[in-house]
């Protein structure tokens, strides 16, 4: 049985599809692609059915990641099939924990940057949507740094620990 992770931001066109693409690549590189399922969603449905922001796609592809994506809204019913829900900022963390049907599901929600040992006080990945390309590049750097720690946590879980 696969272990399932969903990355969540606001509209599912910038940060969460970036995290999904980066982490999917990490899973494939680690040889875990048949054991870990990765997807993403938004807390809001404003962009449901749309592709990722063109700046997200450009930054991903320029760095060797897949840029294909279709936005969708997070459904609280998914908690029952997900093992880990990764929020991209503290606002998403709070919103997702409020949506959780119970305490066990709320405990599945974690901040992405909590897996980055170099991240200290501010664990939010800033929303690059209203900025320039450099904001998307900064977002990618944060996602890549946290993905290393998240992959280690997933490996630990699969070996009998916890994520």
Residue environment code for 6-17, b if the CB has 16+ CB neighbours within 10 A, otherwise e: bbbbbbbbbbbb
Catalogue the active-site residues: 9, 15, 127
Question: What are the extents of the domains in the chain?
Answer: 3-158
Q: In a structure prediction context, what are the per-residue pLDDT tens digits for the chain, which is 163 residues long?
A: 689 999 999 999 999 999 999 999 999 999 999 999 999 999 998 999 999 999 999 999 999 999 999 999 999 999 999 999 999 999 999 999 999 999 999 999 999 999 999 998 899 999 999 999 999 999 999 999 999 999 999 999 888 766 6
The reported pLDDT for the residue numbered 29 is 96
**Is 3-158 in CATH node 3.40.1690.10?**
no
CA dihedral 71, 53, 58, 109 (to 10 degrees): -50
State the pLDDT at residue 121.
87
Is there a contact between 136 and 11 (Cβ–Cβ < 8 Å)?
A: no
Q: How far apart are CA 71 and CA 49, in angstroms?
A: 5
pTM of the predicted protein model = 0.96
Q: How far is CA 162 from CA 25, 108, 120, 142, 152, in A?
A: 22, 11, 22, 23, 11
Report d(CA 43, CA 96) in Å as an integer: 8
What pLDDT shows up at residue 114? Answer: 97
d(CA 87, CA 46): 18
Residue 87: what are its φ and ψ, rounded to 5°?
-85, 145
Bridge partners (DSSP) of residue 85 are: 6, 109
Ordered strands of the 109-111 beta sheet: 36-42, 3-9, 84-87, 109-111
């Amino acid at each position: 049985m696969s272990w399932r992770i969903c990355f969540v931001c606001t509209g599912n066109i910038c940060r969460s599809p970036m995290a999904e693409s980066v982490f999917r690549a990490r899973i494939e590189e680690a040889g875990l692609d048949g054991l870990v399922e990765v997807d993403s969603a938004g807390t809001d449905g404003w962009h449901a059915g749309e592709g990722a922001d063109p700046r997200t796609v450009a930054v991903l592809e320029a760095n060797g990641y897949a840029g294909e994506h279709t936005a969708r809204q997070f459904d609280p019913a998914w908690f029952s099939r997900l093992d880990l829900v990764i929020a991209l900022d503290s606002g998403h963390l709070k919103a997702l924990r409020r949506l959780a049907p119970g305490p066990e599901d709320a405990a599945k929600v974690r901040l992405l940057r909590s897996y980055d040992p170099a991240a200290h006080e501010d664990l939010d990945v800033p929303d690059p949507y209203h900025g320039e390309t450099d904001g998307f590049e900064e977002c990618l750097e944060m996602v890549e740094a946290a993905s290393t720690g998240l992959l280690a946590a997933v490996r630990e879980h699969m070996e009998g620990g916890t994520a």
